[in-house]
Structure 1
Amino acid sequence: MGEELARERGWNFLATAADTLPPASLAFEIDLRTPVSPAEVVRRARAELGVELDFLPRDEGFTAMLALDNLPHPLPPRARPLLPGLLRTIESCRWQGRYRFFPGVPEFAADTDCTALATAALHRHRSLLRSRLAETGRHLLAAGAPVAAGLRPGAVMVYWEDGAEPLARPRGRKHDAVVSANVLRALHLADRRHGPVVEATLGQVEDHLRSGRYLGGTRYYPSPATFLHAAARLCGQCPACAARLGPPLRSACAAHPAPANALDLALLTICARACGLPAHGTHRAALTRLQRPDGAWPAHGYFRTGRLPVYFGSAHLTTVFALRALEPAAAR
């Protein structure tokens, strides 16, 4: 089956979602073979792991942010009915200029990753006021880490930990290199390209790449391909970032074996294409062969909770990344 037909079938699958994409499934296995309900996550966390969750997971809004950040603008005609629903979902996650993972769970704090990706997604689809973009830049710069053990001073943290949300419980001060790459992309869009927070955050991303630590995944993103993809997208938008990250990123992408699952293969394909590597053609062919008869690509865990082995993902999200990986050159 050719790429053009694969794209056609993929878009047809997304169009069946009607007015928005469904939220991610949750599972304790990265291949999502046994999805569980939020209540089951709470029960198993307590019974099997001895962890008492301080919130009940509900439908997340992160899938909508990721989808809109990767779907083309303008959307193909058959997919345009998805746009209003995706925009509504993202807006429901907004809290005073920041964005939450779970829109209906005020006990779970807003984070810089959701804020950065929601901003990039809205900007990509011409749905963001300049005043809101500037507001995002101010918020993200305010998340620089203090001088403390285990932190890179000045580099953006995952959570603000400033007590601004009255119902949210502290999540802890921490970094994640994928989050940092996403934040830098949003700061570039907001024209906040210089300063100590940007330099410290870029230094953290560069160190994560050059050290090889990305091979172990990150706290919230289990796959090395996710970091390579995030770094490649950052480089495609920020020339200064590309000057520092480009050579080691190209080497890392060239050395990375082709993943067996469709999600990671799509992410690596996007990275290889951005780096100008010939391997992306082989990856595209392999990705096309992994498409299911219904036009979707199989679900796989894209992100996870930090302290629990609970993975989030869906066939819809994998299909979004696969379609981006298979985009013709003129559409990128």
Structure 2
Amino acid sequence: MADVSLRGIRKSYGSVEVVHGVDLDIKSGEFVVFVGPSGCGKSTLLRMIAGLEPISGGDISIGGVRVNDVPSPKRGIAMVFQSYALYPHMTVYDNMAFGLKLAKTPKAEVDQRVRAAARILQIEDYLERMPKALSGGQRQRVAIGRAIVRDPKVFLFDEPLSNLDASLRAQTRIEIAKLHDTLDATMIYVTHDQVEAMTLADRIVVLNAGRIEQVGSPLELYSNPVNTFVAGFIASQRMNFVPVERAGDGLSLPGGKILTLAHDQLSNARTLGVRPEHLHLASPTAAHFTGTLTVIEQFGEYALAYVELPGGELITVKLDGAPDLKLHDTIHIGLPDHGVHLFDDKGRALH
């Protein structure tokens, strides 16, 4: 295990800077997830930590040692890629042992490490198989096993579940979480999937256009996003945003209803945010919003209702069970007593 420190990390391609002075401290044994939209710089940042991409400025330290000029194989890291990158002509055993053999590790130690990793990942029965005889999930476990045998200081994962179908992603996600608990290792994991980030991370790093927007635990980011970008990105369903204006002691909502709210910065509020799971159906007199049901998605245990307000705003409501609603119904929606977020004209959270 080792801590990882980033100070002023920059990356440029010619005159175009894509990572802009990132500062971050990752504790030894911590599971940190980099999350953000495509092109935000998360994979580039991971590859710079790995030594696969040169940095344009700043310092990277692993275990207290500056590694800017240390080649990747000597950084004490192991990386698991989106593609399994297994040698098709080698057995599972030989794929996992290959790096150790190149390092001239004694044969008995190679065997001990490979079999120990196979036990952890429950792939002992596959050691003599060729990769073509494995499922996608099994191949990814072999790729993870190849990283484990190196006994690295830091594990790096670059969207390792992207090639798996939905059920295998869920299963492998659980296995990675258990692996972190078993190894108590420092892990840095890149994904664009908010569910992976929320369920795996000790802390999440939200990136946008090469900058860190917010760092915190999953619940911190869910409950206290610093801006509309984080609020709209974190969680499985995007937060709803509607424009508001100051009206006396409250806020005027789309449709004309007034929300009475005790808040020190009401005059600065320009956007109200609320998560779909915090909204509820209400009577016409108690409703804060009234609109038309345009789409409903049924998931069995819950449904997502998409409601268009008179001004054209579309809001999503998460409802338990299978509500008896029909397209084009008039829907009345109530706001919660708690869980409403306010943002200023630059999208910054007002606390």
**Higher RCO (CA 8 Å, separation ≥ 6 residues):** 1
Structure having the higher helix fraction is 1
Determine which structure has more spread, i.e. the larger CA radius of gyration.
Answer: 2
TM > 0.5 fold call: no
State the TM-score, normalized to the length of structure 2: 0.28
